[in-house]
Structure 1
Amino acid sequence: MRALVSGGSSGIGASTCLRLAEASLARGEQPMIAVAGHRATPAQEHVVSSIQSMGGTAIALVGNLSDPDVPNQLVAAAVAEFGGLDGLIANAGIASPGALCDVSVEDWDNMFAVNLRGAWLLAKASYAHLKNSRGSACFTSSMSGQQPHAGSGAYSPTKAALTMLAQTLALEWAPDGIRVNVVSPGMTHTPMTEKMYSDPQIKKARESIIPMSKIGEPMDIANVIEFLVSPLSGYVTGQDICVDGGFSKSILSHIPGRPSSNS
Protein backbone atom coordinates (compact mmCIF):
# COMPACT_ATOMS: atom_id res chain seq x y z
CA MET A 1 0.00 0.00 0.00
CA ARG A 2 1.50 3.26 -1.19
CA ALA A 3 -0.57 6.00 0.40
CA LEU A 4 -0.57 9.74 0.96
CA VAL A 5 -2.38 10.94 4.08
CA SER A 6 -2.98 14.68 4.42
CA GLY A 7 -3.35 15.88 7.99
CA GLY A 8 -1.37 12.81 8.93
CA SER A 9 0.63 14.25 11.80
CA SER A 10 -1.91 13.82 14.60
CA GLY A 11 -5.43 12.77 15.52
CA ILE A 12 -7.41 10.85 12.92
CA GLY A 13 -4.69 11.28 10.30
CA ALA A 14 -1.95 9.86 12.51
CA SER A 15 -4.09 6.88 13.50
CA THR A 16 -4.91 6.30 9.84
CA CYS A 17 -1.23 6.24 8.89
CA LEU A 18 -0.54 3.63 11.57
CA ARG A 19 -3.62 1.57 10.73
CA LEU A 20 -2.78 1.53 7.01
CA ALA A 21 0.72 0.32 7.82
CA GLU A 22 -0.52 -2.42 10.17
CA ALA A 23 -3.12 -3.68 7.71
CA SER A 24 -0.69 -3.63 4.81
CA LEU A 25 1.84 -5.68 6.74
CA ALA A 26 -0.89 -8.13 7.75
CA ARG A 27 -1.66 -8.65 4.05
CA GLY A 28 2.00 -9.33 3.36
CA GLU A 29 2.51 -6.00 1.60
CA GLN A 30 5.14 -3.34 2.19
CA PRO A 31 3.49 -0.18 3.53
CA MET A 32 4.76 3.07 2.07
CA ILE A 33 3.09 6.00 3.79
CA ALA A 34 3.56 9.71 3.10
CA VAL A 35 2.65 11.54 6.31
CA ALA A 36 1.70 15.05 5.20
CA GLY A 37 1.32 17.90 7.66
CA HIS A 38 0.91 21.66 7.74
CA ARG A 39 4.38 21.98 9.24
CA ALA A 40 7.12 19.76 10.60
CA THR A 41 6.39 18.69 14.18
CA PRO A 42 7.64 16.09 16.67
CA ALA A 43 4.23 14.41 16.36
CA GLN A 44 4.72 13.96 12.63
CA GLU A 45 8.20 12.50 13.16
CA HIS A 46 6.74 10.13 15.75
CA VAL A 47 4.24 8.79 13.21
CA VAL A 48 7.00 8.32 10.64
CA SER A 49 9.32 6.55 13.09
CA SER A 50 6.47 4.35 14.36
CA ILE A 51 5.76 3.09 10.85
CA GLN A 52 9.46 2.53 10.23
CA SER A 53 9.75 0.56 13.47
CA MET A 54 7.02 -1.78 12.19
CA GLY A 55 9.13 -2.48 9.14
CA GLY A 56 7.34 -0.10 6.81
CA THR A 57 8.50 2.88 4.79
CA ALA A 58 7.35 6.37 5.73
CA ILE A 59 8.26 9.91 4.78
CA ALA A 60 7.28 13.26 6.25
CA LEU A 61 5.90 15.86 3.83
CA VAL A 62 5.10 19.46 4.73
CA GLY A 63 2.88 22.04 3.06
CA ASN A 64 -0.03 24.41 3.62
CA LEU A 65 -3.01 23.23 1.58
CA SER A 66 -4.29 26.79 1.33
CA ASP A 67 -1.50 27.26 -1.21
CA PRO A 68 -2.84 25.89 -4.54
CA ASP A 69 0.63 24.69 -5.54
CA VAL A 70 1.10 22.49 -2.48
CA PRO A 71 -1.24 19.56 -3.29
CA ASN A 72 0.56 18.78 -6.52
CA GLN A 73 3.92 19.08 -4.75
CA LEU A 74 2.85 16.63 -2.05
CA VAL A 75 1.61 14.06 -4.54
CA ALA A 76 4.72 14.46 -6.71
CA ALA A 77 6.98 13.93 -3.70
CA ALA A 78 5.12 10.79 -2.61
CA VAL A 79 5.14 9.33 -6.12
CA ALA A 80 8.83 10.11 -6.58
CA GLU A 81 9.60 8.25 -3.35
CA PHE A 82 7.23 5.30 -3.77
CA GLY A 83 7.08 4.89 -7.53
CA GLY A 84 3.32 5.32 -7.60
CA LEU A 85 0.25 5.69 -5.42
CA ASP A 86 -2.40 3.19 -4.35
CA GLY A 87 -4.34 5.32 -1.91
CA LEU A 88 -5.16 8.95 -1.19
CA ILE A 89 -6.59 9.91 2.17
CA ALA A 90 -7.68 13.55 2.04
CA ASN A 91 -7.99 14.09 5.76
CA ALA A 92 -6.62 17.58 6.48
CA GLY A 93 -9.11 20.16 7.68
CA ILE A 94 -9.50 23.25 9.80
CA ALA A 95 -12.36 24.64 11.86
CA SER A 96 -13.29 28.11 13.07
CA PRO A 97 -16.59 28.24 14.97
CA GLY A 98 -18.89 31.24 14.78
CA ALA A 99 -22.18 32.52 13.43
CA LEU A 100 -22.22 32.73 9.65
CA CYS A 101 -22.97 36.46 9.71
CA ASP A 102 -19.81 36.98 11.79
CA VAL A 103 -17.49 35.02 9.50
CA SER A 104 -15.08 37.22 7.58
CA VAL A 105 -14.52 36.73 3.86
CA GLU A 106 -10.90 35.89 4.63
CA ASP A 107 -11.84 33.13 7.09
CA TRP A 108 -14.52 31.79 4.73
CA ASP A 109 -12.09 31.62 1.82
CA ASN A 110 -9.31 30.07 3.91
CA MET A 111 -11.56 27.31 5.22
CA PHE A 112 -12.82 26.46 1.75
CA ALA A 113 -9.25 26.60 0.43
CA VAL A 114 -8.02 24.00 2.94
CA ASN A 115 -11.08 21.81 3.50
CA LEU A 116 -12.39 21.69 -0.06
CA ARG A 117 -10.04 23.09 -2.68
CA GLY A 118 -7.03 21.37 -1.11
CA ALA A 119 -8.78 18.00 -1.25
CA TRP A 120 -9.90 18.60 -4.84
CA LEU A 121 -6.37 19.50 -5.94
CA LEU A 122 -4.92 16.47 -4.15
CA ALA A 123 -7.42 14.32 -6.03
CA LYS A 124 -6.57 15.95 -9.37
CA ALA A 125 -2.87 15.42 -8.81
CA SER A 126 -3.41 11.80 -7.73
CA TYR A 127 -5.79 10.78 -10.51
CA ALA A 128 -3.31 9.44 -13.07
CA HIS A 129 -1.42 7.48 -10.41
CA LEU A 130 -4.58 5.98 -8.88
CA LYS A 131 -5.79 5.08 -12.38
CA ASN A 132 -2.53 3.28 -13.05
CA SER A 133 -2.78 1.28 -9.80
CA ARG A 134 -6.60 1.00 -9.81
CA GLY A 135 -6.37 2.47 -6.35
CA SER A 136 -8.80 4.25 -4.09
CA ALA A 137 -9.38 7.49 -2.21
CA CYS A 138 -11.11 8.37 1.03
CA PHE A 139 -12.15 11.86 2.08
CA THR A 140 -12.65 12.79 5.74
CA SER A 141 -15.82 14.83 6.01
CA SER A 142 -17.96 15.18 9.15
CA MET A 143 -21.42 14.53 10.52
CA SER A 144 -21.58 18.35 10.39
CA GLY A 145 -21.50 17.96 6.62
CA GLN A 146 -24.55 15.68 6.77
CA GLN A 147 -26.59 17.87 9.11
CA PRO A 148 -26.62 21.67 9.50
CA HIS A 149 -24.58 22.72 12.49
CA ALA A 150 -25.40 26.21 13.75
CA GLY A 151 -22.39 28.10 15.04
CA SER A 152 -19.86 26.09 13.06
CA GLY A 153 -19.08 28.98 10.72
CA ALA A 154 -18.01 27.81 7.27
CA TYR A 155 -17.13 24.33 8.56
CA SER A 156 -20.45 22.62 7.80
CA PRO A 157 -20.68 24.12 4.28
CA THR A 158 -17.13 23.02 3.49
CA LYS A 159 -17.76 19.48 4.68
CA ALA A 160 -21.07 19.17 2.84
CA ALA A 161 -19.32 20.31 -0.32
CA LEU A 162 -16.42 17.92 0.33
CA THR A 163 -18.81 14.97 0.50
CA MET A 164 -20.41 15.94 -2.80
CA LEU A 165 -16.97 16.42 -4.36
CA ALA A 166 -15.94 12.91 -3.34
CA GLN A 167 -19.18 11.31 -4.50
CA THR A 168 -18.97 13.06 -7.85
CA LEU A 169 -15.39 11.85 -8.25
CA ALA A 170 -16.59 8.34 -7.40
CA LEU A 171 -18.88 8.38 -10.43
CA GLU A 172 -16.35 10.00 -12.75
CA TRP A 173 -13.52 7.68 -11.73
CA ALA A 174 -15.42 4.40 -11.49
CA PRO A 175 -14.79 3.51 -15.18
CA ASP A 176 -11.06 3.82 -14.42
CA GLY A 177 -11.30 1.33 -11.58
CA ILE A 178 -10.77 3.98 -8.87
CA ARG A 179 -13.02 3.88 -5.83
CA VAL A 180 -13.80 7.03 -3.83
CA ASN A 181 -15.58 7.07 -0.48
CA VAL A 182 -16.19 9.36 2.47
CA VAL A 183 -15.95 8.88 6.22
CA SER A 184 -17.87 11.33 8.40
CA PRO A 185 -16.70 11.31 12.01
CA GLY A 186 -19.07 12.19 14.81
CA MET A 187 -17.93 13.43 18.20
CA THR A 188 -14.30 12.33 18.39
CA HIS A 189 -11.53 12.96 20.93
CA THR A 190 -8.65 14.47 18.96
CA PRO A 191 -6.02 17.14 19.62
CA MET A 192 -8.42 19.62 17.98
CA THR A 193 -11.17 18.77 20.50
CA GLU A 194 -8.91 18.12 23.50
CA LYS A 195 -9.84 21.35 25.27
CA MET A 196 -13.55 20.54 25.08
CA TYR A 197 -13.26 16.98 26.33
CA SER A 198 -10.97 17.98 29.17
CA ASP A 199 -14.13 19.42 30.75
CA PRO A 200 -15.69 16.36 32.46
CA GLN A 201 -19.18 17.88 32.48
CA ILE A 202 -19.18 18.50 28.73
CA LYS A 203 -17.74 15.06 28.07
CA LYS A 204 -20.37 13.36 30.25
CA ALA A 205 -23.20 15.38 28.71
CA ARG A 206 -22.11 14.45 25.21
CA GLU A 207 -21.68 10.78 26.09
CA SER A 208 -25.23 10.78 27.49
CA ILE A 209 -26.75 11.57 24.07
CA ILE A 210 -24.69 9.05 22.09
CA PRO A 211 -26.40 5.63 21.89
CA MET A 212 -23.07 3.86 22.45
CA SER A 213 -22.43 6.16 25.44
CA LYS A 214 -18.87 7.08 24.52
CA ILE A 215 -16.88 9.62 22.57
CA GLY A 216 -15.11 8.26 19.52
CA GLU A 217 -11.35 7.85 19.35
CA PRO A 218 -9.19 8.54 16.27
CA MET A 219 -8.61 4.82 15.70
CA ASP A 220 -12.38 4.29 15.45
CA ILE A 221 -12.32 6.50 12.38
CA ALA A 222 -9.02 5.13 11.07
CA ASN A 223 -10.40 1.58 11.07
CA VAL A 224 -13.19 2.64 8.72
CA ILE A 225 -10.83 4.60 6.46
CA GLU A 226 -8.55 1.58 6.19
CA PHE A 227 -11.52 -0.61 5.25
CA LEU A 228 -12.63 1.87 2.59
CA VAL A 229 -9.24 1.92 0.86
CA SER A 230 -8.53 -1.80 1.33
CA PRO A 231 -9.37 -4.72 -0.97
CA LEU A 232 -12.15 -5.70 1.46
CA SER A 233 -14.31 -2.85 0.13
CA GLY A 234 -13.57 -3.61 -3.52
CA TYR A 235 -17.22 -3.14 -4.59
CA VAL A 236 -17.88 -0.04 -2.47
CA THR A 237 -17.70 3.44 -3.96
CA GLY A 238 -19.52 6.75 -3.57
CA GLN A 239 -20.51 6.00 0.02
CA ASP A 240 -20.51 8.31 3.05
CA ILE A 241 -20.12 6.35 6.29
CA CYS A 242 -20.90 8.25 9.49
CA VAL A 243 -18.83 6.96 12.40
CA ASP A 244 -20.62 8.47 15.38
CA GLY A 245 -21.74 5.73 17.78
CA GLY A 246 -25.28 6.01 16.42
CA PHE A 247 -25.75 9.65 17.36
CA SER A 248 -26.95 10.97 14.00
CA LYS A 249 -29.67 8.32 13.82
CA SER A 250 -30.93 8.92 17.35
CA ILE A 251 -32.82 12.20 16.93
CA LEU A 252 -36.29 10.70 17.37
CA SER A 253 -35.27 9.08 20.65
CA HIS A 254 -34.75 12.56 22.12
CA ILE A 255 -38.42 13.58 21.70
CA PRO A 256 -39.98 13.83 25.19
CA GLY A 257 -42.68 11.23 25.79
CA ARG A 258 -41.65 8.86 23.00
CA PRO A 259 -40.94 5.21 23.81
CA SER A 260 -37.27 4.36 24.11
CA SER A 261 -35.14 1.33 24.75
CA ASN A 262 -34.71 2.54 28.33
CA SER A 263 -38.45 2.79 29.12
Structure 2
Amino acid sequence: MRALVSGGSSGIGASTCLRIAEAALARGVHPMIAVAGHEANSSQKEVVRSIESMGGTAIALAGDLGDPDVPGQLVETAVAEFGGLDALVANAGIANPGTICDVSLEDWDNMFSVNLRGPWLLAKASYPHLKQAHGAACFTSSMSGQLPHAGSGAYSPSKAALTMLAQTLALEWAADGIRVNVVSPGMTHTRMTEKMYADPQIKKAREDIIPLARIGEPKDIANVIEFLVSPLSGYVTGQDVCVDGGFSKSILSHIPGRPSSKS
Protein backbone atom coordinates (compact mmCIF):
# COMPACT_ATOMS: atom_id res chain seq x y z
CA MET A 1 0.00 0.00 0.00
CA ARG A 2 1.66 3.19 -1.25
CA ALA A 3 -0.08 6.23 0.20
CA LEU A 4 0.41 9.98 0.39
CA VAL A 5 -1.31 11.69 3.33
CA SER A 6 -1.36 15.48 3.47
CA GLY A 7 -1.65 17.01 6.92
CA GLY A 8 -0.08 13.78 8.14
CA SER A 9 2.04 15.23 10.95
CA SER A 10 -0.62 15.37 13.64
CA GLY A 11 -4.25 14.81 14.54
CA ILE A 12 -6.45 13.05 11.99
CA GLY A 13 -3.65 12.88 9.42
CA ALA A 14 -1.16 11.26 11.79
CA SER A 15 -3.75 8.73 12.97
CA THR A 16 -4.57 7.99 9.34
CA CYS A 17 -0.94 7.31 8.45
CA LEU A 18 -0.64 4.86 11.33
CA ARG A 19 -3.99 3.19 10.63
CA ILE A 20 -3.23 2.68 6.92
CA ALA A 21 0.13 1.13 7.83
CA GLU A 22 -1.38 -1.08 10.51
CA ALA A 23 -4.20 -2.33 8.27
CA ALA A 24 -1.87 -2.99 5.34
CA LEU A 25 0.42 -5.10 7.51
CA ALA A 26 -2.60 -7.04 8.80
CA ARG A 27 -3.46 -7.86 5.18
CA GLY A 28 0.11 -8.97 4.51
CA VAL A 29 0.88 -5.89 2.41
CA HIS A 30 3.96 -3.72 2.93
CA PRO A 31 2.91 -0.13 3.72
CA MET A 32 4.81 2.77 2.18
CA ILE A 33 3.51 6.06 3.57
CA ALA A 34 4.47 9.62 2.61
CA VAL A 35 3.75 11.73 5.69
CA ALA A 36 3.27 15.24 4.32
CA GLY A 37 3.14 18.27 6.60
CA HIS A 38 3.33 22.03 6.33
CA GLU A 39 6.86 21.92 7.72
CA ALA A 40 9.24 19.36 9.15
CA ASN A 41 8.76 18.91 12.91
CA SER A 42 9.12 16.42 15.73
CA SER A 43 5.52 15.18 15.41
CA GLN A 44 6.07 14.28 11.77
CA LYS A 45 9.30 12.46 12.62
CA GLU A 46 7.48 10.51 15.33
CA VAL A 47 4.83 9.35 12.83
CA VAL A 48 7.57 8.18 10.48
CA ARG A 49 9.36 6.36 13.31
CA SER A 50 6.13 4.68 14.41
CA ILE A 51 5.43 3.34 10.93
CA GLU A 52 8.99 2.09 10.59
CA SER A 53 8.78 0.39 13.99
CA MET A 54 5.75 -1.54 12.71
CA GLY A 55 7.83 -2.81 9.81
CA GLY A 56 6.62 -0.36 7.20
CA THR A 57 8.34 2.30 5.12
CA ALA A 58 7.71 6.01 5.64
CA ILE A 59 9.11 9.28 4.38
CA ALA A 60 8.58 12.82 5.67
CA LEU A 61 7.61 15.49 3.14
CA ALA A 62 7.04 19.18 3.81
CA GLY A 63 5.47 22.06 1.94
CA ASP A 64 2.75 24.71 2.06
CA LEU A 65 -0.28 23.53 0.07
CA GLY A 66 -1.13 27.18 -0.46
CA ASP A 67 1.85 27.27 -2.86
CA PRO A 68 0.59 25.94 -6.21
CA ASP A 69 3.93 24.25 -6.93
CA VAL A 70 3.94 22.16 -3.75
CA PRO A 71 1.17 19.56 -4.39
CA GLY A 72 2.81 18.30 -7.57
CA GLN A 73 6.20 18.19 -5.87
CA LEU A 74 4.81 16.11 -3.01
CA VAL A 75 3.29 13.58 -5.39
CA GLU A 76 6.41 13.48 -7.57
CA THR A 77 8.64 12.76 -4.58
CA ALA A 78 6.34 10.06 -3.17
CA VAL A 79 6.08 8.32 -6.53
CA ALA A 80 9.84 8.47 -7.05
CA GLU A 81 10.37 6.86 -3.63
CA PHE A 82 7.61 4.24 -3.83
CA GLY A 83 7.42 3.50 -7.56
CA GLY A 84 3.76 4.49 -7.73
CA LEU A 85 0.76 5.46 -5.64
CA ASP A 86 -2.21 3.40 -4.47
CA ALA A 87 -3.93 5.96 -2.26
CA LEU A 88 -4.17 9.72 -1.83
CA VAL A 89 -5.54 11.16 1.40
CA ALA A 90 -6.06 14.91 1.01
CA ASN A 91 -6.45 15.76 4.66
CA ALA A 92 -4.65 19.07 5.28
CA GLY A 93 -6.80 22.10 5.96
CA ILE A 94 -6.96 25.40 7.81
CA ALA A 95 -9.67 27.35 9.63
CA ASN A 96 -10.09 31.03 10.45
CA PRO A 97 -13.40 31.95 12.15
CA GLY A 98 -15.29 35.13 11.35
CA THR A 99 -18.45 36.39 9.71
CA ILE A 100 -18.57 36.28 5.92
CA CYS A 101 -18.63 40.05 5.50
CA ASP A 102 -15.67 40.47 7.84
CA VAL A 103 -13.43 38.02 6.00
CA SER A 104 -10.65 39.80 4.15
CA LEU A 105 -9.90 38.99 0.53
CA GLU A 106 -6.52 37.67 1.61
CA ASP A 107 -8.03 35.30 4.20
CA TRP A 108 -10.71 34.12 1.74
CA ASP A 109 -8.13 33.34 -0.94
CA ASN A 110 -5.80 31.66 1.54
CA MET A 111 -8.58 29.42 2.85
CA PHE A 112 -9.57 28.31 -0.63
CA SER A 113 -5.98 27.88 -1.78
CA VAL A 114 -5.24 25.41 1.04
CA ASN A 115 -8.63 23.75 1.54
CA LEU A 116 -9.67 23.46 -2.11
CA ARG A 117 -6.96 24.30 -4.63
CA GLY A 118 -4.32 22.25 -2.80
CA PRO A 119 -6.41 19.04 -2.80
CA TRP A 120 -7.38 19.66 -6.45
CA LEU A 121 -3.73 19.93 -7.45
CA LEU A 122 -2.83 16.87 -5.39
CA ALA A 123 -5.56 14.97 -7.20
CA LYS A 124 -4.42 16.15 -10.63
CA ALA A 125 -0.84 15.12 -9.95
CA SER A 126 -1.90 11.77 -8.45
CA TYR A 127 -4.35 10.85 -11.21
CA PRO A 128 -2.05 8.95 -13.63
CA HIS A 129 -0.54 6.97 -10.77
CA LEU A 130 -3.89 6.13 -9.18
CA LYS A 131 -5.16 5.13 -12.62
CA GLN A 132 -2.28 2.73 -13.09
CA ALA A 133 -2.84 1.21 -9.66
CA HIS A 134 -6.68 1.30 -9.77
CA GLY A 135 -6.29 3.12 -6.49
CA ALA A 136 -8.43 5.36 -4.31
CA ALA A 137 -8.56 8.88 -2.95
CA CYS A 138 -10.20 10.24 0.18
CA PHE A 139 -10.75 13.91 0.95
CA THR A 140 -11.23 15.22 4.49
CA SER A 141 -14.06 17.73 4.43
CA SER A 142 -16.17 18.65 7.46
CA MET A 143 -19.61 18.52 8.96
CA SER A 144 -19.40 22.29 8.36
CA GLY A 145 -19.23 21.53 4.64
CA GLN A 146 -22.52 19.66 4.80
CA LEU A 147 -24.39 22.25 6.87
CA PRO A 148 -23.99 26.05 6.90
CA HIS A 149 -21.91 27.15 9.87
CA ALA A 150 -22.36 30.82 10.74
CA GLY A 151 -19.17 32.42 12.00
CA SER A 152 -16.84 29.96 10.29
CA GLY A 153 -15.70 32.53 7.73
CA ALA A 154 -14.64 30.92 4.46
CA TYR A 155 -14.23 27.51 6.10
CA SER A 156 -17.75 26.18 5.47
CA PRO A 157 -17.83 27.36 1.83
CA SER A 158 -14.36 25.92 1.14
CA LYS A 159 -15.25 22.54 2.64
CA ALA A 160 -18.56 22.39 0.76
CA ALA A 161 -16.66 23.05 -2.45
CA LEU A 162 -14.11 20.37 -1.53
CA THR A 163 -16.88 17.79 -1.15
CA MET A 164 -18.27 18.66 -4.57
CA LEU A 165 -14.78 18.49 -6.09
CA ALA A 166 -14.28 14.98 -4.70
CA GLN A 167 -17.69 13.75 -5.81
CA THR A 168 -17.14 15.13 -9.31
CA LEU A 169 -13.79 13.34 -9.46
CA ALA A 170 -15.53 10.14 -8.34
CA LEU A 171 -17.67 10.25 -11.47
CA GLU A 172 -14.90 11.33 -13.83
CA TRP A 173 -12.43 8.75 -12.53
CA ALA A 174 -14.78 5.79 -12.15
CA ALA A 175 -14.08 4.58 -15.69
CA ASP A 176 -10.39 4.41 -14.77
CA GLY A 177 -11.09 2.20 -11.76
CA ILE A 178 -10.29 4.96 -9.24
CA ARG A 179 -12.60 5.42 -6.28
CA VAL A 180 -13.01 8.81 -4.60
CA ASN A 181 -14.80 9.44 -1.33
CA VAL A 182 -15.12 12.08 1.38
CA VAL A 183 -14.97 11.93 5.17
CA SER A 184 -16.68 14.78 7.03
CA PRO A 185 -15.63 14.85 10.69
CA GLY A 186 -17.91 16.31 13.33
CA MET A 187 -16.68 17.63 16.66
CA THR A 188 -13.22 16.09 17.07
CA HIS A 189 -10.21 16.50 19.35
CA THR A 190 -7.41 17.85 17.14
CA ARG A 191 -4.59 20.35 17.44
CA MET A 192 -6.93 23.04 16.07
CA THR A 193 -9.58 22.33 18.72
CA GLU A 194 -7.49 21.42 21.79
CA LYS A 195 -7.79 24.89 23.37
CA MET A 196 -11.57 24.73 23.08
CA TYR A 197 -11.85 21.30 24.68
CA ALA A 198 -9.52 22.35 27.48
CA ASP A 199 -12.58 24.22 28.78
CA PRO A 200 -14.57 21.53 30.67
CA GLN A 201 -17.84 23.45 30.37
CA ILE A 202 -17.62 23.70 26.58
CA LYS A 203 -16.57 20.06 26.33
CA LYS A 204 -19.48 18.90 28.50
CA ALA A 205 -22.00 21.10 26.68
CA ARG A 206 -20.92 19.62 23.36
CA GLU A 207 -20.94 16.06 24.64
CA ASP A 208 -24.50 16.61 25.86
CA ILE A 209 -25.80 17.27 22.33
CA ILE A 210 -23.99 14.38 20.64
CA PRO A 211 -26.06 11.16 20.61
CA LEU A 212 -22.97 9.03 21.33
CA ALA A 213 -22.16 11.44 24.19
CA ARG A 214 -18.49 12.00 23.45
CA ILE A 215 -16.20 14.15 21.34
CA GLY A 216 -14.58 12.28 18.46
CA GLU A 217 -10.93 11.27 18.46
CA PRO A 218 -8.60 11.35 15.42
CA LYS A 219 -8.60 7.55 15.31
CA ASP A 220 -12.40 7.59 14.81
CA ILE A 221 -11.92 9.50 11.57
CA ALA A 222 -8.80 7.58 10.59
CA ASN A 223 -10.65 4.26 10.78
CA VAL A 224 -13.17 5.48 8.20
CA ILE A 225 -10.52 6.96 5.91
CA GLU A 226 -8.55 3.70 5.95
CA PHE A 227 -11.69 1.76 5.05
CA LEU A 228 -12.43 4.10 2.14
CA VAL A 229 -8.97 3.70 0.58
CA SER A 230 -8.74 -0.04 1.29
CA PRO A 231 -9.97 -3.00 -0.78
CA LEU A 232 -12.82 -3.45 1.70
CA SER A 233 -14.65 -0.50 0.10
CA GLY A 234 -14.12 -1.67 -3.46
CA TYR A 235 -17.71 -0.84 -4.48
CA VAL A 236 -17.92 2.51 -2.69
CA THR A 237 -17.31 5.79 -4.52
CA GLY A 238 -18.72 9.31 -4.51
CA GLN A 239 -19.83 9.09 -0.86
CA ASP A 240 -19.59 11.71 1.88
CA VAL A 241 -19.40 9.92 5.24
CA CYS A 242 -20.14 12.14 8.22
CA VAL A 243 -18.31 10.86 11.31
CA ASP A 244 -19.95 12.90 14.06
CA GLY A 245 -21.40 10.57 16.68
CA GLY A 246 -24.86 11.10 15.20
CA PHE A 247 -24.96 14.84 15.86
CA SER A 248 -25.96 16.07 12.39
CA LYS A 249 -28.93 13.68 12.29
CA SER A 250 -30.17 14.66 15.74
CA ILE A 251 -31.46 18.16 15.03
CA LEU A 252 -35.15 17.30 15.39
CA SER A 253 -34.52 15.89 18.86
CA HIS A 254 -33.47 19.37 20.02
CA ILE A 255 -36.90 20.90 19.33
CA PRO A 256 -38.57 21.66 22.70
CA GLY A 257 -41.66 19.56 23.32
CA ARG A 258 -40.82 16.81 20.81
CA PRO A 259 -40.25 13.26 22.03
CA SER A 260 -36.62 12.18 22.15
CA SER A 261 -34.57 9.18 23.16
CA LYS A 262 -33.73 10.97 26.41
CA SER A 263 -37.35 11.53 27.46
TM-score (norm 2): 1.00
1:151 maps to 2:136: no
Q: Provide the rounded CA distance (Å) in 2 between the counterparts of 1:151 and 1:177.
A: 39
* Structure 1 residue 38 displacement after superposition: 0.2
Q: Mind listing any 5+ residue stretches in structure 2 that lack a counterpart?
A: none
* Structure 1 residue 4 displacement after superposition: 0.1
1:219 maps to 2:235: no
Q: Provide the rounded CA distance (Å) in 2 between the counterparts of 1:197 and 1:46.
A: 24
2:174 is aligned to 174
Q: Provide the rounded CA distance (Å) in 2 between the counterparts of 1:93 and 1:181.
A: 17
- Taking the TM superposition and a 5 Å limit, the aligned residue runs for 1:136-147 are 136-147=136-147
Q: Provide the rounded CA distance (Å) in 2 between the counterparts of 1:145 and 1:261.
A: 27
1:192 maps to 2:192: yes
1:16 is aligned to 16
1:207 maps to 2:207: yes
* Structure 1 residue 261 displacement after superposition: 1.2
Q: Provide the rounded CA distance (Å) in 1 between the counterparts of 2:66 and 2:142.
A: 20
Q: Provide the rounded CA distance (Å) in 2 between the counterparts of 1:152 and 1:41.
A: 28
1:254 is aligned to 254
- Taking the TM superposition and a 5 Å limit, the aligned residue runs for 1:66-215 are 66-215=66-215
* Structure 1 residue 180 displacement after superposition: 0.1
1:233 is aligned to 233
Deviations 1:7-38 (A, max 9, x none): 00000000000000000000000000000000
* Structure 1 residue 262 displacement after superposition: 1.7
Using the aligned pairs only, state the percent identity. 84
User: Which one-letter code corresponds to 1:133 in the other structure?
Assistant: A
2:51 is aligned to 51
User: Which one-letter code corresponds to 2:158 in the other structure?
Assistant: T
User: Which one-letter code corresponds to 1:30 in the other structure?
Assistant: H
Deviations 1:56-90 (A, max 9, x none): 00000000000000000000000000000000000
C-alpha RMSD of matched pairs (Å): 0.3
TM-score (norm 1): 1.00
| SS of aligned partner of 1:106 | helix
Q: Provide the rounded CA distance (Å) in 2 between the counterparts of 1:210 and 1:44.
A: 31
| SS of aligned partner of 1:148 | coil
User: Which one-letter code corresponds to 1:220 in the other structure?
Assistant: D
Q: Provide the rounded CA distance (Å) in 1 between the counterparts of 2:259 and 2:111.
A: 41
* Structure 1 residue 113 displacement after superposition: 0.2
Alignment length, in residue pairs?
Answer: 263
Q: Provide the rounded CA distance (Å) in 2 between the counterparts of 1:102 and 1:178.
A: 40
Stretches of 4+ aligned residues off by more than 4 angstroms = none
Q: Provide the rounded CA distance (Å) in 2 between the counterparts of 1:77 and 1:262.
A: 53
Deviations 1:107-156 (A, max 9, x none): 00000000000000000000000000000000000000000000000000
User: Which one-letter code corresponds to 2:212 in the other structure?
Assistant: M
| SS of aligned partner of 2:89 | strand
| SS of aligned partner of 1:67 | coil
| SS of aligned partner of 2:53 | helix
1:243 is aligned to 243
| SS of aligned partner of 2:111 | helix
